[in-house]
A and B are shown apart, each in its own frame.
Chain A
Amino acid sequence: MLGKRQMWIAWPAFLMAGVLEILVFSMLDPSNLDWFGAPLEISRQGIYTIAFFVFWSITLTSSALTTLLSLSPFEINRCPLQASERPDGCPKQEKHC
């Protein structure tokens, strides 16, 4: 379950980061960028790469928040049952959940 959640968070975020990257850099030439007044001394490829991961980390946060807020009360509240007594299919039966 944890693995699947990580995929749900990382993958759509990755796709949207790619879209952002294309949109932003088709309109903006990284060599025109300033960093607090001083020109950035990184190659275009470098800025593309760094920007992609900045975009990805932001979209990741959005996906992670969506996943967090979509948890059911059963997954958040403390469970009155021992782990061994939880029914099949209970998300809390698995570790890490």
Chain B
Amino acid sequence: MAISKGVSGKVIPIAAEMPDEVMISLYEAQKKIYPRSVAGIFTNWRWGMVWLTQIIFYGLPWLDWGQRQAVLFDLGVRRFYIFGLILYPQDLIYLTGLLVISALSLFLFTALAGRLWCGFACPQTVYTEIFLWIERKIEGDRASRMRLDKLPFSLEKVGRKAAKHLVWISVALWTGYTFVGYFTPIRELGMEFSQAALGPWEGFWVFFYGFATYGNAGFMREQVCKYMCPYARFQSAMFDHDTLIVTYDTERGEPRGGRSRMADTKQLALGSCVDCSLCVQVCPTGIDIRNGLQYECIGCGACADVCDTVMDKMGYERGLVKFSTQNAIALHWSRQEMLKRLFRPRVLIYASVLAIISIGMLVSLSFRTPFKVDVVRDRGVMSRIVEGDKIENVYRLQIMNATEHLQHYKISAGGLPGLGIESDSDESNDLVFIAPAQSKWVTIHLQVPEETAVPGSHAIEFVVQALDTPDHVSEKSVFLVPR
């Protein structure tokens, strides 16, 4: 029998030589997980969050604000509408701020109570929960589903499977449609859809997002959390021994073992764990919480819920599996003692940074000027001498009205002696009016008298003054005088 040698010189054992020993495979074959349904407080919380997030997600695009969709990230015209707020691509800083706030919130909640996001609000969990509910309604609970999958091909099996996939696909397509409805007005989209006149790109994204939902919530499920999600991989960076996590009280539970309800655990020298394996059966990622904290655990609390029902049946105290901290379990802390440790430096730092950035963003949003100006020098004309011995430069100004009302603006320029806006030509005008949430390109001809002009490049400044509000915006540019 050949023995191959590894690079490090270690002998790699060969299965044939050690038939009795089981090797732990690094590349385990994926077993299908059939999560059992469960009821309890965490399950209620999760369903509460499913309803809340999905009412918002499916409902928001249908909400109107005046004449338009209240929340619309209109990619076609490059404007974001969020209720009364109108954002232009130039407002990217607010998106950055929002991302920083989201990240910090995630850090804060993770430090406080582990992977709350994963167990209760992540779309992967929420849609898996919805798809599992559909599966359960059509194929039955865990045992029936496992039986159905083992059954040979039959009319009933095909019927149930087809029904399930049909409902799944409908939900997925509706989800895709809603998603695209955030980027294209959803009512127009619906009209186009009903007339089979859906634009090719919108149509593509409805199906793409729908397909992703169908695949992720119907098939990939826990694999997404285990192999695709980076968050799970760096959870330990945010965890400490005072973080609330789903924990199994080893001291109380072990030694585990089956027994009758009447049996005296002391006499049998057994812990509270009856080894019913229900905590494993309900787990959406198929792990055993009794092995301690694992990166696969999404903190959904399904095992805690099911264990409580078992403890109730056995007449034992609840909480063999519960949300607790590693310190509280090890040091037998009371609830009060455990909660006191919530306010520790890590949490306070995350919370204060989060508060500062959130306040900063709110202040900046409320004080922002409700219009924007971009100045571009005309590409065709560098500088020219025009009638009346004047030197002229041409600029194009884009003025973006970020309010819900028609606005009037007056453009002026300064920074050079004798600098003025030429107003005789048809296209150059220092008075501009712009419709609500619209933008306009304005051509401006700036002139200086030739005798006062010094050759070279001069810094100048455009000032756009809103006439209906006290706001103004200044934008720098240059004026070129030829030699």
A and B interact physically = yes
In contact, A45 and B227 (Cβ under 8 angstroms): no
For A4, A81, A88, which residue has the most chain B Cβ atoms within 10 angstroms? A88
Q: What DSSP secondary structure best describes chain A's contact surface?
A: helix
Interface residues of A in 14-34 (CB under 8 A from B): 22, 25-27, 29
In contact, B4 and A45 (Cβ under 8 angstroms): no
Residues of B within 8 Å of A1, CB to CB, are 27
Q: With A26-B95, A45-B199, A80-B2 as given contacts, are A89 and B228 in contact (CB-CB < 8 Å)?
A: no
B78 to chain A, nearest CB (A): 6
In contact, B227 and A8 (Cβ under 8 angstroms): yes
Residues of A within 8 Å of B200, CB to CB, are 46
In contact, A85 and B15 (Cβ under 8 angstroms): yes
- Does A94 sit at the interface, judged by CB under 8 A? yes
Which residue of chain B is the closest to A4 with respect to CB atoms?
A: B227
Q: Compute how far the CA of A74 lies from the CA of B8 in the bound complex, rounded to whole angstroms.
A: 12
- Does B92 sit at the interface, judged by CB under 8 A? yes
In contact, B75 and A44 (Cβ under 8 angstroms): yes
Residues of A within 8 Å of B202, CB to CB, are 45
Q: Compute how far the CA of A1 lies from the CA of B27 in the bound complex, rounded to whole angstroms.
A: 7
A64 to chain B, nearest CB (A): 16
A16 to chain B, nearest CB (A): 12
| Contact string against B for A residues 53-94, beta-carbon threshold 8 Å, 1 for contact and 0 otherwise | 000000000000000000001100001110001111101001
Which residue of chain A is the closest to B28 with respect to CB atoms?
A: A89
Q: With A7-B223, A22-B95, A91-B27 as given contacts, are A45 and B76 in contact (CB-CB < 8 Å)?
A: yes
- Does B23 sit at the interface, judged by CB under 8 A? yes
Which residue of chain A is the closest to B91 with respect to CB atoms?
A: A26
- Selected from A8, A74, A85, A89, the residue in CB contact (under 8 A) with B27 is A89
In contact, B75 and A48 (Cβ under 8 angstroms): yes
A24 to chain B, nearest CB (A): 11
Q: Compute how far the CA of A81 lies from the CA of B5 in the bound complex, rounded to whole angstroms.
A: 12
Interface residues of B in 1-41 (CB under 8 A from A): 2, 4, 6-7, 12-16, 22-27, 30
In contact, B92 and A94 (Cβ under 8 angstroms): no
In contact, B75 and A45 (Cβ under 8 angstroms): yes
- Selected from A29, A43, A45, A48, the residue in CB contact (under 8 A) with B89 is A29
In contact, A43 and B201 (Cβ under 8 angstroms): yes
Which residue of chain A is the closest to B23 with respect to CB atoms?
A: A88
In contact, B27 and A44 (Cβ under 8 angstroms): no
Residues of A within 8 Å of B4, CB to CB, are 79-81
Q: With A4-B227, A7-B223 as given contacts, are A87 and B89 in contact (CB-CB < 8 Å)?
A: no
Q: Compute how far the CA of A86 lies from the CA of B14 in the bound complex, rounded to whole angstroms.
A: 7
Q: Compute how far the CA of A3 lies from the CA of B27 in the bound complex, rounded to whole angstroms.
A: 11
- Does B205 sit at the interface, judged by CB under 8 A? yes
- Selected from B6, B13, B22, B78, the residue in CB contact (under 8 A) with A74 is B6
Which residue of chain A is the closest to B92 with respect to CB atoms?
A: A26
B123 to chain A, nearest CB (A): 14
A17 to chain B, nearest CB (A): 13
In contact, B228 and A7 (Cβ under 8 angstroms): yes
Q: Compute how far the CA of A80 lies from the CA of B89 in the bound complex, rounded to whole angstroms.
A: 59
Residues of B within 8 Å of A91, CB to CB, are 26-27
Q: Compute how far the CA of A3 lies from the CA of B184 in the bound complex, rounded to whole angstroms.
A: 34
Q: Compute how far the CA of A3 lies from the CA of B226 in the bound complex, rounded to whole angstroms.
A: 13
A97 to chain B, nearest CB (A): 8
B184 to chain A, nearest CB (A): 8
In contact, A88 and B95 (Cβ under 8 angstroms): no
A68 to chain B, nearest CB (A): 17
In contact, A94 and B27 (Cβ under 8 angstroms): yes
- Does B83 sit at the interface, judged by CB under 8 A? no
Q: Compute how far the CA of A22 lies from the CA of B183 in the bound complex, rounded to whole angstroms.
A: 14
- Does B45 sit at the interface, judged by CB under 8 A? no
In contact, A45 and B201 (Cβ under 8 angstroms): yes
In contact, B201 and A27 (Cβ under 8 angstroms): no
Residues of A within 8 Å of B30, CB to CB, are 3
Query: Could you jot down 28 A-B contacts, CB within 8 Å?
Result: A4-B227, A7-B223, A12-B230, A27-B89, A27-B92, A29-B89, A43-B76, A43-B201, A45-B75, A45-B76, A45-B199, A45-B201, A46-B200, A46-B201, A48-B75, A79-B4, A81-B4, A81-B14, A85-B15, A86-B14, A87-B12, A87-B13, A87-B14, A87-B15, A88-B22, A89-B25, A91-B26, A91-B27
Sample of 7 further A-B pairs with CB below 8 A, known A46-B200, A49-B205, A91-B26:
A26-B92, A48-B201, A81-B2, A81-B14, A87-B12, A88-B22, A88-B25
Across the A-B interface, give the 9 residue pairs with the lowest CB-CB distance, nearest first: A45-B201, A89-B25, A88-B23, A26-B92, A11-B228, A87-B15, A26-B89, A1-B27, A49-B201
